[in-house]
Homo-oligomer: A and B are copies of this chain.
Amino acid sequence: MPLVPISQVEELAISALRRAGVPDSHSRLQAQLLIDAEMRGVASHGLLRLPRILRRIKNGVLNPTTIGRLSWRGDAFLFVDGEAGLGPVVADAAIEAATPRARRVGLALVAIVNNNHLGMLAWYAERCALDGLACIALTTSEALVHPWGGRRAMIGTNPIAIGIPTATTPFVMDAATGVVSMGKIHDYASRGQPLEPGWALDAAGEPTTDAAAAKTGAIAPFGGAKGYALGLAFELLVTSLTGAALGEEVKGTLDADRVCNKGDLFILIDRNADGAGAAISEYLDLIRNAAPSPGFDEVRVPGERSAELREQRRKQGLPISDELWRELSALVYEAA
């Protein structure tokens, strides 16, 4: 695939957003977040989402100008009605408002409802950790995961990201609670590749390794009963604090025409223990330098492989297929 310089990709994405009526600073933020995902190799949260964002604006289920309505429900609890804004724009404004509060009282929670897709959660956790705050980020999604022992998708993929300041670069992990993403299943289906056993059920609730059949079925929770418990707990926690929709009622994270009614949660914490950053960096070095098991080249710290890829792509540019480039260009240069 041709490598396109980051600045050129960014310019194209920003132009497409502006053309759809997105204010400059909002366009820049949304574009940067999508491109950060591409640079990290998380294409499912990258530029392929841009056309859908633009269609959502056109369809009136995404308001490109709002930053959401923020209201403090107590000194440490920020409730946000996202007013159907751009996911990253609303979340960023909320985190911006909550950060000084976290510094003052020790921590702050941001509960957001009526907001569009956030994109990659790692972005927010990293942003906070670079600011010296520990961060727990949660967001819900349309039901794609079946309960452990169930036949039907009833739970979101409900990812969690955790960011922790260290003495050097922050620790950032980001994982969905499904064993694989629906993006990966679509990818396998398009290549006619069979799924691993245990990954998915078909529409009738029967186990399948046929990726095409899994597209209308359900993804297994990661790690069996424990991952199911965690994914469900995240969905309940987000809803209990945001009032977001639950399970099969959640819409608007994958389509172009329905209001997005999932919820987002950020907990920002600003009381690092003395010396903890250095101790954590030392400990992570021990893990990096540990002897690997057979079949592994080395022991990795979560998030670092994607961070390395990002550095590489920052220099070399993004591999973008001609097809995607044409699609993105059309968003800017062709008649609406």
Contacts and interface: CB of A to CB of B under 8 A. Distances in A.
Contacts of A240: 134, 164-165, 272-273, 276-277, 280
Interface in A283-326: 283, 286-287, 290-293, 295-296, 298-303
Nearest to A77: B106
B165 A296 contact: no
A147 B233 contact: no
Contact of A150 (B107, B146, B293): B293
Interface in A193-230: 201, 205, 207, 222-230
A241 B134 CA distance: 9
A270 to B, nearest CB: 8
Chain A: interface secondary structure?
mixed
A149 B239 contact: no
Contact of A77 (B271, B280, B302): B271
Q: Which of A104, A111, A240, A241 lies at the interface centre, i.e. has the most chain B CB atoms within 10 A of its CB?
A: A240
A203 to B, nearest CB: 13
A152 B293 CA distance: 9
A250 to B, nearest CB: 11
A256 interface: no
Contacts of A279: 239, 243, 246
A254 interface: no
Contacts of A149: 292-293, 295-296, 298-300
